Structure 1
Amino acid sequence: MSEAESPPDKTTVNIRITETFLADIDGTWKELGYNSRSEFVRDVLRDAVKHPDFNRADLKAMAASEVDIQQGRVHSSDEVMDEFDLDGDTEQ
């Protein structure tokens, strides 16, 4: 963004969720290394809008994989193939 451009205006949005779900969100954004809950929620919503083809299972798998990577856990290609029920055929 150049000096002449100003950042877009932001609007506060209020949502109602359970305390349990909020605790899950708070644990997740902290685990993933976000600086704030708002930053995490903005990214999640942006991804949902920009990539609507992803379903909840895909997003959860990506988040879990990111946590695994950050914590140094890796998986073999065979484990990944088994996890996602892939047969190794790269043709589509």
Structure 2
Amino acid sequence: MTGSRELVAAVRTAKQFLTYVASGPFRYAVAEALPLPDTHYEAFRTGLQAKRDLLKPTSPSTSPRARTSSPPASLNSPRATTR
């Protein structure tokens, strides 16, 4: 970083403050979540897996790429050159 000593010191102070305090709001969320029963997390995991499965093909044959047709045979054969 380049700049006057005062500016660099001020930026470093602000950066350090933000680094250590940014996760502050998550502390409240963790404090609320820790006492929840395991069944809550099992249901949450099951719900996320169901959403994932909506986006993820179950087998390669259901993949959008698998549904594309092969190129015509004429494109696979060597081209005849005519002069």
Structure 1-normalised TM-score?
Answer: 0.21
Identify the structure with bigger relative contact order (alpha carbons < 8 Å, sequence gap 6+): 1
Question: Would you tell me which structure has more helix in proportion to its own residues?
Answer: 2
> Which structure has the larger Rg over C-alpha atoms?
2
Structure 2-normalised TM-score?
Answer: 0.22
